[in-house]
Amino acid sequence: MTTANEITEFVKKNTGLENITDDTDIFYIGIVGDDFHELIKKFAKTYSVDMTNYLWYFHADEEGVRSSIGGFFFAPPYKRVKHIPVTPLLLNEFANRKKWNIEYPKHQIQKKRYDLFINTIIVATAIVLFIVVALKEC
């Protein structure tokens, strides 16, 4: 059986942060985006936790979301649900159960990510414009 202290030390070691307690929400101390997802993935592998029920968007955001123009028009999944904290204490419970065991509230997330689609259109348009301008100057 793991202990909350063991999980707290795991989080400290894998984040490089020391200001973590058993009830610290790891998202709100700066472990966000890819760093959050990598920590959870490493936790699941280290403690053999079945992540079948894991819904990332209740716990964290995505990398680069602050510069998402599409997000101004269509909210990304994590902005459509209420945040559920992930703490070392909660991770300890999952490590001992060997299962991510949260009963998420009823919610509906669109299957299509229109925010990302808009971002893709903007980037593709910028690339095409860059190429057109570069070719005109040749």
Domain ranges of the chain: 4-137
Angle at 88 between CA 83 and CA 92, to 5 degrees: 115
Dist. CA 74–CA 117, nearest whole Å: 10
Which tokens is 110 given?
């669109």
Radius of gyration of the chain (CA): 19
pTM exceeding 0.95: no
* pLDDT tens per residue across span 99-131: 999 999 987 776 787 766 676 787 788 888 888
Dist. CA 74–CA 106, nearest whole Å: 20
Q: Which residues lie closer than 8 Å to 49 by C-beta, 6 or more apart?
A: 43, 94, 95, 97, 98, 99, 100
